[in-house]
Amino acid sequence: MSLSNRDIALIEEGLRLAIAAVMAAVQAHAFTADPALPIDWAQVRITTTPEQALAKARGQVTGNRE
């Protein structure tokens, strides 16, 4: 049984998501490893708005075209 392009794309996205989740969890563990230190909650704030993400994506497209 061969995989379609869509299947492969789904697997790629799943892997990308899993990697992002694992990296975030590992990083969070590192930040909270020492119970004596206060937790830096600012690290887990979402600071990029949808508009900023869109502008960045547009910039990448423009960069690729140039």
The residues that touch another protein, with contacts defined as CB under 8 A, are 5-6, 8-10, 12-14, 16-18, 20-21, 23-25, 27-29, 31-32, 35, 38-39, 41-46, 48-51, 53-54, 56-58, 61, 64-65
Decide whether 2 or 51 has the Cβ nearer to another protein.
Answer: 51
Q: Where are the beta strands (DSSP E) in the chain?
A: none
Residue 2 CB, nearest approach to another protein (Å)? 14
Please identify which residue in the block is written with the tokens 């900023």: 52
Copy the structure tokens of residue 45. 């704030």
Contacts made by residues 27-31, CB under 8 angstroms, sequence distance 24+:
none
